[in-house]
Structure 1
Amino acid sequence: MEKTLIQPDDMITLWGIIVVWAAVSIFLEQRFSWASKISGAIIALVGAIVLSNTGVIPTESPVYDAIWAFIIPLAIPLLLFHVNFKKIWQESGRMLIIFLLSSIGTVAGTIISFFLLKDHIPYLDKIGAMMSASYVGGGVNFAAMAGKFEAPGEMVSATIVADNLMMAIYFVVLMIIPTMAFFRKRFAHPHVLEVEAGKGENDGKTLAESFWARKDISLKDMALSVGTAFFLVIVSFKIAAFLDGVIPSGEDVSFFMNLLNGLFGDKYLVLTTITFLALALFPRYFEGINGSQEIGTLLIYLFFVVIGVPASIPLIIQNAPLLLIFVAIIVIVNMIISLVAGKLFKYNLEEILLVSNANIGGPTTAAAMAIAKGWKNLIGPILVVGTIGYIIGNYIGTTLGLWFATLL
């Protein structure tokens, strides 16, 4: 066992630390303006990195495995329950296009970065799958691809270190860009101007606290949210297991069949697809459930804490420098293509920055940025559009991962 204050098998204490720190991160984000600007997600990550690097908690434990195995699958449908297909086009159709263009930036960046570094970083096919999926839909997709491609634990940890550092740096950059004259002169920025014209209208509350205000949530809402999510997870995982057994895969099978198995036999892809089918077939049922977004976001905060845990400083020194370059290239290409495409198609600066954020960090971090910046009219649309990344990110990651494997 690791020589840490809390041992890996002390499950109740580790669960407590994870839940308590997630709660602290959410509280700080909603209580203090500085924390609201950083975002609770970054606070959760940094806190976990500090706890693991100071020997308070171990870097590996069955508790963390449980988060990956149970919490993430539950969070996916819960975060999707609020999606309304009509609203996607009515409120978010404009942002959906730039989001997809930004996703192309991630794909291009991953391919460029892979060919530049494939001879220098081991398991880059698996890492490329994880990062391309993650940088289209966020951390949930990273977890899905890490589980699917079974990358070695130490490489996953090192990649998380590089990813966490890159995300933190990039989010800071995204927060600063709207204040820079260079970008203000070249892009329309109506939401920035609106906020600057109406400062002091929040009654002393942080923007995060205003957004996550108390809602009408009953015991029935909570029961239906969690119960429905569990039902969808069970059905989806059973279907995925069946398809995985029916569709052949392996070294002796064609690339196409491996791709089919990777797509239709993957439990996370089936889960997101089944959830969207349910939303399309029973829209009134899901519209009538309150609280799923809050519960799903809380679960994602538990995940934010856990992905910060393996971020060992020695691993940064040993493995992460090249990985940091790998993810930096992806992010830079994503940003360039997002800004160029946004300029060509006359998007607002705020829309461009939020979709790039949604690609790299997921809809919750993009919403956190919109909340922190006070871009109220963009919070709902980026949450809706960003959830599309949960689906297409896994497809993109699976496709690139299987292709990259043939090139090594």
Structure 2
Amino acid sequence: MISADNTFGLLACLLLLVWVGYISEKTKWGAALSAPLIILLLSFIVGNLGVLPPSAPIYSVVQGVLVPLAIPLLLFSADLRVVFRESRRMVLAFVLATLFTVIGALVGVSLVDMGSFEPSLVGVLTASYIGGSANFVATAEAVGFADSSLYTAALTADAMGAIFFLTLLMALPAIRFVANRFPETGAALAGAAPTEGAAPLSQEVTSAPAEGGVVFALLLSAAVCAGGVLIASWLPIEGTFIISITVLSLLIANLAPARMKESIQYDYPLGTIFMYVFFATIGLGADLGSIAGAAIPILLFLVILVLVHIVLLAWLGARFRFTLAEMMIASSACILGPAAAAALAASKGWRHLVTPGMLVGVLGYAVATFIGVTLTNLLR
């Protein structure tokens, strides 16, 4: 109904989806689902009904501009004392989540026949579910996976599997049997314990005009992203850009934390909004119509992978004494990437897990391609 070149019309629709997600989250059922999941499901529905196109230039702008801008905005209030304390546990949780993905992939490939390209598909999809789409592409190039029809089917199934994963993940706190297995579930899931050094989500700073604080936050974020691009051009290694802007944001936040709190405003809410718009573009890109033929076994493989991952999360995560919040963010960083982990932590009020989730998500970028290539070679 709306053409791909209708930039402002599509932008209005994306923001409408985000607004509906925010409003719905205030209801009892919406709070259980969370705004990111509501936005994903709504965008998936309207995309497959043909209301909005599955791809458009504005989506590339969101994914290429707003997501990088959101990362510094979500990190400017990060206290590294808290980060280092929390990240040690988060790294261990992420290692578990990575292991869950690999085990899920091995179970899936033993139950589903994906044809002659099966080793490559398993490696590519496992890399994507440990790192992200960049690892999907890098692993595909490394293992020589270039069949265009399978490539498209795998990408579509990848997006569908991510939606299925997030649906199950967000349902875990509502399953009493699962939630009660984890320590400190009530406090962790309610976000009751405030994080030292972290400003509240709706921070109010009276020492600077609101307009100036907002503009300065955006200015700093853009400057950090520009610095990240420059560093990535010097070090053309996979994941350098995300690593660079994460490190630069943390340096700025921790070199002068008091000054930052005085100078910027609404950085965290802005970052969260940008991430939610990103979720809307993900849902629109998942085309149900192309899940046919070769895509069906690929999707079935991913469903099994996700189910095994979630079951192991609920079982071993609790056995290793992680909180459900920690395991949810670690798994989200593993399968959906650092941006999704940050958005999930922000939406649930787990401010202390935003930066650790970002950091382990970047770790996923670093190791996913290696794991994917290794798995492909083993299966061959």
Q: TM-score, normalising length from structure 2?
A: 0.77
Task: Tell me: CA distance 1:14–1:183, structure 2 relative to 1, closer, same or farther (3 Å).
Answer: closer
Whole-angstrom distance in 1 between the partners of 2:326 and 2:52: 39
Q: CA RMSD in A?
A: 3.5
Equivalent residue for 1:45? 40
Q: Pick one of 233, 238, 244 that aligns with 1:241.
A: 233
Equivalent residue for 2:211? 219
Contact 2:272/2:343 (8 A) holds in 1: yes
Equivalent residue runs for 1:128-167 within 5 Å: 128-133=126-131, 142-145=132-135, 152-153=151-152, 155-167=154-166
Equivalent residue for 2:11? 15
Q: Point out the more displaced range, 308-317 or 147-156.
A: 147-156
SS of the counterpart of 2:129? helix
Task: Tell me: CA distance 1:25–1:212, structure 2 relative to 1, closer, same or farther (3 Å).
Answer: farther
Task: Tell me: CA distance 1:170–1:194, structure 2 relative to 1, closer, same or farther (3 Å).
Answer: closer
Equivalent residue for 2:238? 262
Equivalent residue for 1:294? 269
Whole-angstrom distance in 2 between the partners of 1:354 and 1:154: 28
SS of the counterpart of 1:303? helix
Task: Tell me: CA distance 1:212–1:176, structure 2 relative to 1, closer, same or farther (3 Å).
Answer: same
Task: Tell me: CA distance 1:366–1:332, structure 2 relative to 1, closer, same or farther (3 Å).
Answer: farther
Equivalent residue runs for 1:194-343 within 5 Å: 213=202, 215-216=204-205, 218-244=210-236, 261-262=237-238, 266-288=240-262, 289-343=264-318
Letter in structure 1 aligned against 2:126:
G
Task: Tell me: CA distance 1:51–1:120, structure 2 relative to 1, closer, same or farther (3 Å).
Answer: same
Whole-angstrom distance in 2 between the partners of 1:110 and 1:395: 20
- 1:38, distance to aligned residue in structure 2 (A): 1.0
Whole-angstrom distance in 2 between the partners of 1:363 and 1:335: 19
Whole-angstrom distance in 2 between the partners of 1:27 and 1:183: 26
Contact 1:114/1:128 (8 A) holds in 2: no
Letter in structure 2 aligned against 1:16:
A
User: Structure 1, residues 345-367: CA drift from partner, whole Å, max 9, x if none?
Assistant: 43455554554455445132245
Equivalent residue for 1:252? none
Equivalent residue for 1:365? 344
- 1:163, distance to aligned residue in structure 2 (A): 1.6
Equivalent residue for 1:395? 366
Equivalent residue for 1:55? 50
Task: Tell me: CA distance 1:49–1:343, structure 2 relative to 1, closer, same or farther (3 Å).
Answer: closer
Whole-angstrom distance in 1 between the partners of 2:138 and 2:229: 13
User: Structure 1, residues 137-187: CA drift from partner, whole Å, max 9, x if none?
Assistant: xxxxx3554576688555323311222123213322x1333x12x763x55
- 1:382, distance to aligned residue in structure 2 (A): 2.7
Task: Tell me: CA distance 1:70–1:385, structure 2 relative to 1, closer, same or farther (3 Å).
Answer: same
Q: Pick one of 32, 57, 65 that aligns with 2:60.
A: 65
- 1:95, distance to aligned residue in structure 2 (A): 4.6
SS of the counterpart of 1:57? coil
Equivalent residue for 1:250? none
Whole-angstrom distance in 2 between the partners of 1:232 and 1:86: 22
User: Structure 1, residues 271-308: CA drift from partner, whole Å, max 9, x if none?
Assistant: 33333344444444444433221111100111110000
- 1:234, distance to aligned residue in structure 2 (A): 1.0
Task: Tell me: CA distance 1:21–1:392, structure 2 relative to 1, closer, same or farther (3 Å).
Answer: same
Contact 2:109/2:122 (8 A) holds in 1: no
User: Structure 1, residues 113-150: CA drift from partner, whole Å, max 9, x if none?
Assistant: 686577554654433322211xxxxxxxx355457668
Whole-angstrom distance in 2 between the partners of 1:146 and 1:222: 36
User: Structure 1, residues 1-23: CA drift from partner, whole Å, max 9, x if none?
Assistant: xxxx1111111111111122212
Query: What percent identity do the matched residue pairs reach?
Result: 20
Contact 1:262/1:398 (8 A) holds in 2: no
SS of the counterpart of 1:60? coil
Contact 1:189/1:350 (8 A) holds in 2: no
SS of the counterpart of 2:235? helix
Task: Tell me: CA distance 1:169–1:281, structure 2 relative to 1, closer, same or farther (3 Å).
Answer: same
Unaligned runs of 5+ in 2: 141-145, 193-199
SS of the counterpart of 1:132? coil
Task: Tell me: CA distance 1:360–1:158, structure 2 relative to 1, closer, same or farther (3 Å).
Answer: closer
Q: TM-score, normalising length from structure 1?
A: 0.72
Whole-angstrom distance in 1 between the partners of 2:155 and 2:188: 42
Equivalent residue for 1:171? 170
Task: Tell me: CA distance 1:393–1:214, structure 2 relative to 1, closer, same or farther (3 Å).
Answer: same
Task: Tell me: CA distance 1:325–1:356, structure 2 relative to 1, closer, same or farther (3 Å).
Answer: same
Unaligned runs of 5+ in 1: 134-141, 199-210, 245-260, 372-378
Equivalent residue for 1:376? none
Letter in structure 2 aligned against 1:380:
R
Whole-angstrom distance in 1 between the partners of 2:153 and 2:278: 18
Whole-angstrom distance in 1 between the partners of 2:39 and 2:189: 30
Task: Tell me: CA distance 1:395–1:287, structure 2 relative to 1, closer, same or farther (3 Å).
Answer: farther
Instruction: Note if 1:386 corresponds to 2:357.
Output: yes
SS of the counterpart of 1:365? helix
